[in-house]
Structure 1
Amino acid sequence: MKSNLSPVTGVLHQQQSAPNYQLRRYFPCTELKGLVEQFWFVDWCLPDNKTHTQRNLPDPNFHLLLSTDEIKIIGPVSKVYDYTMHGKGQLLGVKFRVGALVEQFDITPLACVDKTFSLQHLCDMPSSSLVSSLTMASDDAERVKVLSQFLMSFTLPQSTGAAMAEGILNTLQDHSDIFTVEQLAKQCDMPIRQIQRLCQHYIGFSPKWLIRKYRLHQALALLESKATTMADIVAQLNYTDQSHLIRDFKEIIGTTPNRYLKRP
């Protein structure tokens, strides 16, 4: 079981929030690599008089989530989403690879955006035994083992289309200088229409939306570093002007950059 120690992205107010919980991430075994991107587990133990609401940037991946003895499938998320922690608790999650559930369960990501549904909706299997096994697991290794055994029967080799869609996302994550669909198409060496079709079928978001999302990741990191001015962020990330940055920030995060920084 190999830990994923890469930097965590998409977490709002990450430095201030980190002391409130423990996050661990693990890569899947070889047999599950076509289905699972990573397992992620969160624990917290807060004083009786304290709560913590963790907010996160939108996520184009599907997730399986065990929370309060219930297993849910969470579709792609288009807006900032949050989870409130209090007392002692735990979240156990599986982040699926882009397109994996499309191939396995013949679902349409676009129809699942901002939707949550039961495990039975996907595989017509009761979740009670899985919940019981995960609840009884004593450590992360056992949790990964239980989840891996459950998911093993659903794994399929990654299709060419899903791999191409995932490649588009990886390109956006790896190239911080992509700000237009035309630049993305050139970097991927694909026609724009092919990129649009792949994104719609396997991800559920347009390439333009994905570019905005990953550019906002960069803007957020620069903003939280407090070492860069708004004007510098606008220039570095190729926004038209500060109004353009503020509009994107407010539409996806729900507040302006200045108000975000002032929030405790």
Structure 2
Amino acid sequence: MRHEPRRDHRGILDPARLRRGLRFRRYLPAVPLLGRYVEHYWFVDWTLTEPFTQRIVPHPAVNVVFQQQDGDDSGSAEVSGVGRRLFSTTLTGTGRVCGVQFRPGGFRPFWRRSVAELTDRRLPLDSRSSPGPVPPAQQVCAGSDEDRRRTLDDVLLGWRPVADPLADEAVRLADEIRTDRTVLRVADLADRHDLSTRRLQRLFLGYVGVGPKWVIRRYRLQEAIERAGSAPPDWAGLAADLGFSDQAHLVREFTATTGVSPTAYVRSLALP
């Protein structure tokens, strides 16, 4: 059982700038049962004098997001499926977000049908798209961080997740891909667990929302982005370490995903 949320910045482009401009933090659920399904809760608060744009390379995970903007009495609530493209959002004024990032595969026990239905989609949480009652965003985002954490616990428990051994299997396999850098090919992962490649693909599509090959590539690319932010890497060596065919392959995927080349991204981190 984990006792604290992840501390890495994978998926966040220019994380230092985010932390300078916004108040960002993560928490685990207060109810241990929910850790079976939830990666972490994430909270963002801001008071801005000019617009702030943040870009994210999404994880292979479903998010539920409550947003409250000053001057908006109702706020908004949505479920966001796995996003295969770069996500960009612009914030203004004063507001707050309370989000739930589910573990890959962890939303299926709440959703109770194929999570692939949500891939590349963002749906307002209502009677058709929500697994259960949805409180207003201003209620979820009110009070201290501990208040918000407890409220999200209550929301998710009210959605009554249905235990599903296949969801547990998908969560374990996706976590293995994330944490074990030697997992570079779907066939190798299938052989390691005595599974057919076809079964592995069906499991990931139904429970994670994307195929295992995409998950492997996304996690390896997120690692490349994070390592570029800590120190300019040896790109050829990094490509080999992460399973890309060569440096040019890594550069193409990095550029296609982030919209900038690796060297341009590294230069951008030095800007104020």
TM norm. shorter chain > 0.5: yes
TM-score (norm 2): 0.85
Give the counterpart letter for 2:35 in structure 1: K
**What is the distance in 1 between the residues matched to 2:158 and 2:37?**
11
Aligned to 1:58: 58
2:253 to 240, 248, 254: 248
TM-score (norm 1): 0.88
Matches within 5 A, 1:4-83: 4=5, 6-28=7-29, 29-46=31-48, 48=49, 50-68=50-68, 69-83=75-89
Q: What do the CA deviations read for 1:203-226 (whole angstroms, capped 9, x no partner)? A: 111111111101102211222223
Unaligned stretches of 5+ residues in structure 2? 69-74
* Contact 1:58/1:81 (8 A) holds in 2: yes
Shift of 1:111: 2.2
Unaligned stretches of 5+ residues in structure 1? none
Aligned to 1:218: 223
Shift of 1:34: 4.0
**Cα distance change on mapping 1:254 and 1:227 into 2, 3 Å:** closer
1:184 to 184, 189, 205: 189
**Cα distance change on mapping 1:141 and 1:3 into 2, 3 Å:** farther
Aligned to 1:106: 112
Shift of 1:151: 2.1
Aligned to 2:211: 206
1:230 to 217, 235, 238: 235
Aligned to 2:72: none
* Contact 2:66/2:76 (8 A) holds in 1: yes
**What is the distance in 1 between the residues matched to 2:165 and 2:189?**
19
**Cα distance change on mapping 1:118 and 1:177 into 2, 3 Å:** same
Question: Root-mean-square deviation (CA), in Å?
Answer: 2.2
* Contact 1:100/1:158 (8 A) holds in 2: no
Give the counterpart letter for 2:51 in structure 1: T
Shift of 1:174: 1.3
**Cα distance change on mapping 1:104 and 1:89 into 2, 3 Å:** closer
* Contact 1:72/1:119 (8 A) holds in 2: yes
**What is the distance in 2 between the residues matched to 1:227 and 1:124?**
44
Aligned length: 259
Aligned to 2:130: 123
Secondary structure, aligned partner of 1:122: coil
Matches within 5 A, 1:96-175: 96-120=102-126, 121-123=128-130, 127=134, 129-135=135-141, 137-175=142-180
Shift of 1:157: 4.8
Aligned to 2:266: 261
1:91 to 89, 97, 102: 97
Give the counterpart letter for 1:173 in structure 2: R
**What is the distance in 2 between the residues matched to 1:122 and 1:107?**
12
**Cα distance change on mapping 1:195 and 1:257 into 2, 3 Å:** same
**What is the distance in 1 between the residues matched to 2:11 and 2:131?**
32
Secondary structure, aligned partner of 2:25: strand
Secondary structure, aligned partner of 1:73: strand
* Contact 1:196/1:206 (8 A) holds in 2: yes
Higher helix proportion: 1
Q: What do the CA deviations read for 1:105-137 (whole angstroms, capped 9, x no partner)? A: 33322221111112112238674x4334225x2
**What is the distance in 2 between the residues matched to 1:86 and 1:153?**
32
Sequence identity percentage: 27
Secondary structure, aligned partner of 2:136: helix
**Cα distance change on mapping 1:98 and 1:233 into 2, 3 Å:** closer
